[in-house]
């Protein structure tokens, strides 16, 4: 299963059981996957969707390979170590990157 498919499964879990995201502000997380390009995780009105392509108004962009993204979606990526070793790059608001990690943990 590709990382994009795993993301879609996670989004479906979130939308089916939105209590952990209901209070989330509307925002866009951009993920730049080294192998397949950008995609967006869009939180809006207590729901989440995945949009292909780059977002001109993303507050944070995570840059990583698909293997690390897949690990992150399963809450199996040590994000601190990945960041320190260059396996994860963050552009924009670091706090939002951490918030996304917290949300992912809640849906494991």
77 burial level (CB within 10 Å; 0-12, 13-18, 19+):
buried
Q: Is residue 58 within 8 Å of residue 39, measured between CB atoms?
A: no
- The pLDDT score that the predictor gives to residue 107 is 93
- Walk me through the domains of the chain, giving residue ranges and CATH numbers: 3-102 (3.30.1050.10)
Q: Encode pLDDT of 44-88 as tens digits.
A: 999 999 999 999 889 999 999 999 999 999 999 998 899 999 999
Spatial separation of the C-alpha atoms in residues 20 and 7, rounded to whole Å: 17
pLDDT at 92 over 90: yes
- The pLDDT score that the predictor gives to residue 24 is 86
- The pLDDT score that the predictor gives to residue 67 is 95
pLDDT at 23 over 90: no
């Amino acid at each position: 299963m590709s990382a994009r498919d795993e993301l879609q499964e996670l989004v479906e879990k979130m939308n089916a059981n939105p209590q952990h995201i209901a209070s989330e502000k509307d925002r866009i997380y951009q993920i730049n996957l080294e192998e397949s390009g950008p995609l967006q995780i869009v939180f809006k009105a207590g729901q989440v969707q995945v949009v292909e392509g780059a977002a001109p108004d993303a507050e944070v962009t995570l840059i990583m390979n698909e293997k690390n993204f897949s690990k992150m979606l399963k809450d199996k990526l040590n994000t601190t170590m990945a960041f320190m070793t260059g396996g994860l790059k963050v552009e924009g608001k670091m706090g939002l990157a951490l918030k996304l990690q917290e949300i992912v943990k809640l849906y494991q």
